[in-house]
Amino acid sequence: MEYLEKKAPDIPAPRPHGLIAFGHFRVIFMSYIPDMTLTQAWPSLSHKDKLSIQRQLDDIFCRLRAIRQDDRNVVLGGVCGEGVKELRVNECVLLPGITTIAQFNELQFSAVHHGSSTYVKFLRSFLEHDVRPTTLTHDPVFTHGDVRMDHIMVKKDPDIDEYVVTGLIDWEDSGFDPAYYECTVLTRTLSLVDENDWYLYLPESISPLRYPPIHVP
């Protein structure tokens, strides 16, 4: 959050005020965003409201993704070089030493899966034949790392009678990752049976529709 405050102060995020260590535990003090989560607001939103939220979020993520790494720091993941986190591989461990998009892609496909080796090779062939520069060769971009409705704060502005995005919270998984990475974590909470149409209004800049060849088993 300190890095974000310096590099992109216009991004609506909590501002850090300090940290206290208690043995192995850490407590971060930060500013409070006193509004409702998008999860709470969503059932009452109209189609027009949802489109407005989608556009606002897309603007925020476009600005976020415009942040670039310093030349001195080419390690993917956290801004202090602590490494990447891929929950499909390990929920708790940071994996340092990943410096290229190709290495990150190898990491993602190393996750335990239920398909055969042929099935995995078939999926990976989509990436190998994707000639667009945005998939495997694009420079890393700054990502939130855990975009979900519970991490988006909104409120209704009585002056314009519209819902506005007031903040993004929970930045612990943020850092520099492949341009496609955000779209692969967006659907982690998508269920085959839930009727939640949030997934039909995802911000364009991080939507899976932007990276159709990306499949992680």
| Alpha carbon 31 to its chain's center | 21
Residue range 34-210, CATH number = 3.90.1200
Residue 216, pLDDT score: 47
CB 94 within 8 A of CB 83: yes
CB 54 within 8 A of CB 61: no
pLDDT per residue rounded down to tens, the chain (217 residues): 888 999 999 999 999 999 999 888 889 999 999 999 999 999 999 999 999 999 999 999 999 999 988 765 678 888 888 888 776 666 666 777 788 887 887 777 776 677 788 877 787 777 666 555 555 557 889 999 999 999 999 999 999 999 999 999 999 999 999 888 898 888 888 888 888 999 999 999 999 888 765 544 4
Domain segments of the chain as ranges: 34-210
Distance between CA 35 and CA 75 in Å, rounded? Answer: 35
* Number of DSSP helices (H) and strands (E) in the chain, helices first: 6, 7
What are phi and psi for residue 142, nearest 5 degrees? -80, 130
Residue 215, pLDDT score: 45
Output the six-digit token pair for 109.
Answer: 């496909």
Distance between CA 132 and CA 151 in Å, rounded? Answer: 31
Residue 115, pLDDT score: 74
